[in-house]
Structure 1
């Protein structure tokens, strides 16, 4: 029996991988004012991050703490492990549930179908006797159902928990230790999957992401869920716009995400959002909800296969039950967690002295990018994430509170030029230019976006170009809207990252200013 169970667990690896990735890659309307304990002790130069002019328009903060390797910095490390033998771990409870999940549904279908066949095979007189017996025992059956409901209510009540920052009450079935073991298994799987795509530690993109994570962890070390975690950064060479953080501190950022952000501020807000998922324990919360919903769905699934007279109708009812569960429970709850992570991530970025006004701009950029690429926009109620428009609208509402928190953390003043206004003016200029071009040249045919194409991308930076960028960056203090403020947008071919310019500019200033920057 043990051998059969072991073989079954191995055969379920593909199903497990998909389920785990879905759980790991995924509020209150007003949060109480939160003081910054770690960065508001005193107003000194030691608490100020160095400001770095970027692309002649914005001021980018310098996330380096001091002249030291990221390997030696507090809370951030690179993943370098050595084992003399394969480590053996006990099977965590969430893993057992995820593996047995398909088997539970199969057993429910078999049970319901067996009940239906048994009922159809009964003679009419036996059916009548059974109905009369159930009517006579109705109070006992009702009492049994009541006891079962009380047991379920006690179980749910004893597993209620509060989120670390927002104080929201939630249901968490699995313990933190079990889910950390599950996160370790998943991180090993990701490391094996992305082994050929990992950027070297000497890559400038790897260094920038490490320093941003280091800066976020340092400025939010008053939060135990952040200070107690060893954050490890992995940048994956992949054009997908994706980034995620596992509960054990493993940070995975795809190069497509680095190309989608316009500056370090947007990158900080994105990584703060992913760190918020980890510190709030959203993956364990989502898995707990799925566990409870699945158990309740088993009862409904058994009833569907027992009541429906034919297998075809039962299959249709099964499909409808799955879709209703997705639309009514799983996806709305996932959107709720994403909105909460946006709110908390904005607070983390504010304490890290990032320009939080760049957050709504990022989601406006993503909305424009999807439109220019011709991607089909699904209705929000069909998606696990809020729409881009809803995200930047909700984030705009949290900007005033985030600015107050940023000021309480003794951060340097922000430039007067608001990135949201700059982006809005840039879009207006883009549309005006496209109209003029249409009038002069006839109908404009937008070209589809090709992430591999070099059209619209900055040229390869040489040492001479790098020095020129640094000189230009130093000459751009607080400025009003002009040509250098306009984001690098082009009709039909949208490339908003320009990360190569940002990376070289930031790395040059990090080396120059790190002696003056202390947190």
Structure 2
């Protein structure tokens, strides 16, 4: 049985190719192009000064980042250990004679200064670790905590991408399909217009359009964008396609996926002590289990979900500017979300599942994304600035066309591979 796989990717000028390799799977294959970071073609407008390969500089030590696989194992294990330690302490305390309980309490009172100082040192060490892993977000300058390097996230994303392609391998649209051609054309123009951004310029972007009614589009940290046909059916023109693509590109260059994972792991570590206290001091396992569940819900609703919605708003803001710099009509982004808000039930946010085309209606405060209406209002509030960026770049493109100036640019190319 033959299956086709199509994607668009960055294509750099021939002298900047480092290597080309192909990973053949039973369901699809892609050609991947990577480039040498030291290539002069990757230094637009002197943004990266050229350094001789023989130059040696003293470098400061970098923070030690955690392997994502290790964190995936430690995350549930640490919660289990907190429950086990808390419950074990409760059982030990309940079986302890009253006289020994009194001696234990007296010991804590006599050594309370030591325990307070030890706790303070532990908190200080945790604070130092947190600060050593805080970086500033691109464009916005927002402080954020990161546990993983870009290379670790890319390696993890490749695995996730293969899982997605295995699930939808038979549904990938060919390169000649109008939707694939349209996405390639719009993505190509976005990259050309924003080539002065290294995080965007040097990433090996791919887009895969899947013949499935799910209304969704998402991006992996590696730059692999997966677009569903259900979303393409709703996009009326290139301007709306640009709005969706620029939003997803913003997620990738801002490394929101790694930030979300890091934020989730940090919250899980912070609730370990309260979790141990719950199982240690609540006398019944049943009540402790209910309290445990309630604590997780509170953390999710008041800390995790608002944080996720903040990242979505940030991607909307950055994506609007990427589309404006490419001279797309950014007002179509607001029009698209306005259409989506009219189509959804009043006061509800329609959460589209990534798989199987299932949908469920949730209030905005229970969703990982802002409501469509809120997104439209936020985009409208930034429209004047985005239109100013668009007009400024219109002048640049017009002048370059008049004088016949050809700027070096990136190109996206659709390809189709056929495998047995």
Does the 8 Å CA contact 1:74/1:218 hold for their aligned counterparts? no
1:407–1:143 CA distance, 2 compared to 1 (3 A): same
State the secondary structure of the residue aligned to 1:233.
Answer: strand
* CA drift at 1:221: 0.9
For the 8 Å contact 1:74–1:214, the answer to whether it is kept is: no
* Residue in structure 2 matched with residue 159 of structure 1 by the alignment: 133
| 1:221 matched residue in structure 2 | 195
CA deviations 1:373-423 (Å, max 9, x no partner) are x9675332221111111110010011000011111212699xxxxxxxxxx
Equivalence for 2:374: 390
Residue 341 of structure 2 corresponds to 367
State the partner residue of 1:312.
286
1:253 maps to 2:234: no
Output one character per residue of 1:337-363: Cα deviation in whole Å (capped at 9) or x when no partner: 011001000001001111001111111
Q: What's 1:340 paired with?
A: 314
Could you tell me which of 95, 107, 110 is aligned with 2:81?
Answer: 107
Tell me, in whole angstroms, the C-alpha distance in 1 between the residues paired with 2:342 and 2:158: 37
Aligned length: 339
Measure, in 2, the Cα distance between the counterparts of 1:146 and 1:399. 48
* CA gap 1:364/1:164 in 2 versus in 1, 3 angstroms: same
C-alpha deviation, 1:183, in angstroms: 1.3
Gap regions ≥5 residues in structure 1: 1-68, 86-91, 414-515
Q: Secondary structure at the match of 2:226?
A: strand
Separation in 2 of the partners of 1:397 and 1:84?
Answer: 46
Matched, 1:81 2:22: yes
| Residue 166 (structure 2) aligned to one of 188, 192, 200 | 192
What's 1:352 paired with? Answer: 326
**Corresponding residue for residue 399 of structure 1:** 383
Q: 1 CA distance for matches of 2:376 and 2:160?
A: 31
The residue matched to 1:410 in structure 2 has which SS? Answer: helix
The corresponding residue for 2:414 is none
Task: Please state whether the residue corresponding to 1:251 is helix, strand or coil.
Answer: strand
Residue pairs, 1:318-337, within 5 angstroms: 318-337=292-311
Greater displacement, 258-267 / 99-108? 99-108
The structure with more strand, counted as a fraction of residues? 2
Aligned to 1:408: 392
- Which residue of structure 1 lines up, in the alignment, with residue 410 of structure 2? none
Q: Does 1:232 align with 2:206?
A: yes
| Distance in 1, Cα, partners of 2:217 & 2:21 | 21
1:202 aligns with 2:202: no
Tell me how far apart the structure 1 counterparts of residues 172 and 212 of structure 2 sit (CA, whole Å). Answer: 9
Alignment equivalent of 1:129, drawn from 76, 97, 103: 103
In structure 2, the CA distance between the partners of 1:162 and 1:71, relative to structure 1 (3 Å rule), is closer
1:380 is matched with 364
- Partner in structure 2 of residue 241 of structure 1: 215
TM-score by length of 2: 0.76
Question: Aligned equivalents of 1:386 and 1:138: distance in 2?
Answer: 47
C-alpha separation between the residues in 2 aligned to 1:116 and 1:402?
Answer: 59
- Matched-pair contact (CA < 8 Å) for 1:273–1:341: yes
Q: Is the 8 A contact 2:9 2:204 kept in 1?
A: no
**RMSD between superposed Cα atoms in Å:** 2.5
Secondary structure of the 2:394 match is coil
Q: Which has the larger radius of gyration?
A: 1
Deviations 1:139-186 (A, max 9, x none): 000000010011011001111101121111111121222112111221
Structure 1 residue 119: Cα displacement? 0.6
SS of the residue corresponding to residue 248 of structure 1 reads coil
Cα separation, partners in 2 of 1:364 and 1:138, compared to 1, 3 Å: same
SS in 1 for 2:22: coil
- Secondary structure at 2:160's aligned position in 1? helix
**How far does the alpha carbon of each residue in 1:304-350 deviate from its partner, in whole angstroms, 9 at most, with x for none?**
11111001100110111110110111001001001100100000100
